[in-house]
Amino acid sequence: MNMRLEFPRQFAFALALACVPALGFAQNSASPSDMNNSASNLSASDKKFVRDAAQGGMAEVELGKLAAEKGSSDEVKKFGQRMVDDHSKANDQLKQIAGSQGIELPQNLNSKDKALKDRLSKLSGASFDKVYMTSMVRDHKTDIADFTKESNSGKDEAVKQFATTTLPTLKDHLQEAERIEPMVKGSSTRASK
């Protein structure tokens, strides 16, 4: 009699163990159509913002790595490293939002950013510093305009919140870039400002 009671418990335990992986798979396996349905809940402008922000963030990291390596000024090197650190963190946050919404993010630089990276790769010294810092001022002005617009008029709360919380960092980046740019451009640019 004792044997009969042991068998069903062992069998039930084995059956339960066999079902656990299947249950986990069922919970974690969203089909591509489920992902697309989730993404279809985002407005076109929110989707565009997420993709553009990811593209820009990826470029800031790539260009920042170059600046940290090739910059001739310590200020440029430090700024480049800050771009790598801050934009990598923001990119990770954006990847989580995009993943939850089923948005596929770009994996490569766009043609404009790739051309800038290629150009910077061929420069060195003061020439590198000037081109890099000028592009950082320009890019951050554009980024701030885009993030401000999303912060004010975004439809998806998570995307809007990302834009709002990232804005102060972008404004700080612009302020720092505007401080460094005249230093690397030389005194003639400083006098004209």
Q: Which residue has the higher pLDDT, 157 or 189?
A: 157
Q: Is the pLDDT higher at 121 or at 16?
A: 121
Query: H/E element holding 156?
Result: none
Domain ranges of the chain: 44-192
The mean pLDDT value for 79-91 works out to 97
Share of the chain above pLDDT 70, in %: 76
What is the tens place of the pLDDT at every residue in 15-40? 444 444 443 433 333 434 344 444 45
Res 189: pLDDT: 41
Domain at 44-192: CATH architecture: Up-down Bundle (1.20)
Map residue 193 onto helix, strand or coil. coil
> Whole-structure pTM over 0.85, yes or no?
no
DSSP category for residue 123: -
C-alpha torsion angle, residues 73, 130, 60, 69 (rounded to 10): -40
